[in-house]
Structure 1
Amino acid sequence: MASLIHQGRAAYAFFERNWNLTKRYWAWEIVWLCYNVVNALSITFIARATPDLKPAQVNYMILYLLIGTSVWTYLSVTFDGVTDVINIERWEGTIEHTFMAPISRFTHMIGSCWYAIVHGLLFTGLQLFVVVLFFHLDLSQANYLTAIFMLLLGSVSFIGFGIATSVLPLLYTEKGMQMSFIVRAIILLVSGVYYPVSVLPAWMQPFSWLSPATYVLNGLRAALLSNKPIWSPEIWSYTWPLIIMSVVSIPLGMTIFRMAERYAKRTGRLKRNG
């Protein structure tokens, strides 16, 4: 019991450390918030610019695109919240101290991932608040309970991908962060963020099945556009792949990270650059 309490406190310490880092680089938070708000508005206004749509169709399309931009912002911030930890610790010169601390790597990652989820929710909430001011939306068919359920379940499954991708800045000191952007871009392409997966070329569509974002987006759209409850067969068809991905991706991501950490220590890749 004492050990469990110690690990919980250690996990919270990483949560608090990441919050302090966010405060230290607060200007970047404003930059990215402005960028994401403008990006979301630019994409969502496409619905109003599309000709020959009835008012109900315009509302549907606005919500369709708004869900895509909001979910993508949330998953991106959550994803980056895990991968950026390594890069920021290199800048700060603390990565070697963190890896020598007498805590498990699982505790380290749990604290960082916990903060990434909270940070992502707050960031996306602010973006939604601003964007919704520009539109009059009909949410009479929305099932908010299902939407929250799908978002939280998707967060857990996406964390495993973030942990695995954080290996890139760990191993490649100068190009690792850029390489993680490529991974995120591929997920954006195949997950149907702004369009149905069915419009992709046939050879690309199977890749969408491997992305948790695909199921989160489909589930949220079913919840907010069609009022689907959690227990409906359609929502379950998106839920069980996310459960499997959560069970598989987090242990796999941790295993990959531990292997990369041992390699980085053995080859001296943890030294501070810049």
Structure 2
Amino acid sequence: MTALSPQRIGALVLRYLYLLRGSWIRVIELAYWPTVQMVLWGFITRYLAGHSDVLYQASGLLLSGVLLWDILFRSQLGVSVVFFEELHSRNLGQLFISPLQPIELILALMLVSLARTLLGVGVAVLLAMPFYGFNLFQLGPPLLGFFVNLLMLGWAIGLMVSALVLRYGMGAESIAWAAIFAIAPLCGIYYPVATLPDWLQPLSWALPASHVFEGMRTVLLEHRFRLDFLLYALALNAVYLSLGASLFLAALHKARERGSLLQSGE
């Protein structure tokens, strides 16, 4: 066995530092996750500290938030990660040699995302019953509206992320994991939108998920359903989903023009 070489170790460290320096995505990612966690839990603490009257329902609110948030998270990954599998296997070019139309690919990704979301979140919902005595179905019929809206937003974000990867290559793949958490503090998952600073609230209301989680809290705390929240979320989702599909189709068209589909795994 040869002796340890500080030169070899130093050379590898230098190589990895050069990789870090050459990728702005990697640099941002270093501070990204701690910052998101700090902001998110800071607002949760601020809300609970000022609303002791809802502490007795905190477990139900938090578990509902977690499970509904996972619908959004899983539906987004169900589109983007499945699409990335085609890129990794360099199969995208082969698909479009066939008569497959781009819109058919989008619809297939959405259906797979639905199946993956139902399977993943469904198991968690069922386990929450014996583990914590919590039943998400206590939300009643509004739960279906919440599910559809979060699913649509997840699809929209997944298509936008996939479009970015088509445009900038697999170096942007980490955006699939980072993008969804970037909006988490703004969505009011565990606290009302009113908890946010005034200058952030308009941005929060521009997100369909904020209307969903406000509707969820209204059902749990006030035992009534706000139809306006559902309708606002549907209208916003129609815009975001159209935008996501348009960006994906445009990026795919550009990739075909550049002839980069066959090298998409690199």
223 and 98 in structure 1: CA distance in 2 versus 1, 3 angstrom threshold = farther
* Percent identity between the two aligned chains: 23
Counterpart of 1:206 in structure 2 is 202
Question: Following superposition of structure 1 onto structure 2, how do residues 178-217 of structure 1 map, counting pairs within 5 Å?
Answer: 178-217=174-213
Gaps of 5+ in 1: 1-42, 230-234
2:251 equivalent among 242, 260, 268:
260
Look up the SS of the partner of 1:133 in the other structure.
Answer: helix
Gaps of 5+ in 2: 1-40
2:69 aligned with 1:72, yes or no? yes
Q: Which amino acid aligns with 2:265?
A: N
Partner Cα separation in structure 2 for residue 176 and residue 238 of structure 1: 34
Counterpart of 1:241 in structure 2 is 232
Q: Could you tell me how far 1:129 is from its partner in structure 2?
A: 2.4
Q: Which digits, 9 at most, give the CA deviation of each residue in 1:234-260, with x for residues without a partner?
A: x22212222212332222222211111
Counterpart of 1:177 in structure 2 is 173
Partner Cα separation in structure 1 for residue 248 and residue 124 of structure 2: 32
Q: Which amino acid aligns with 1:155?
A: L
Q: Could you tell me how far 1:176 is from its partner in structure 2?
A: 1.9
Q: Could you tell me how far 1:123 is from its partner in structure 2?
A: 0.8
- C-alpha contact 1:86 1:170 (8 A) present in aligned 2: no
Using the TM superposition, name which of 63-72 and 102-111 deviates more: 102-111
Runs of 4+ in 1 over 4 A off after TM superposition: 56-59, 137-140
Counterpart of 2:81 in structure 1 is 84
Q: Which amino acid aligns with 2:92?
A: I
99 and 210 in structure 1: CA distance in 2 versus 1, 3 angstrom threshold = farther
- C-alpha contact 2:211 2:233 (8 A) present in aligned 1: yes
Cα RMSD between the aligned structures?
2.9
Q: Could you tell me how far 1:189 is from its partner in structure 2?
A: 1.7
- C-alpha contact 2:73 2:154 (8 A) present in aligned 1: no
Q: Which amino acid aligns with 1:162?
A: G
**What TM-score do you get using the length of structure 2 for normalisation?**
0.72
**What TM-score do you get using the length of structure 1 for normalisation?**
0.70
- C-alpha contact 1:164 1:257 (8 A) present in aligned 2: yes
136 and 99 in structure 1: CA distance in 2 versus 1, 3 angstrom threshold = same
Q: Could you tell me how far 1:206 is from its partner in structure 2?
A: 1.6
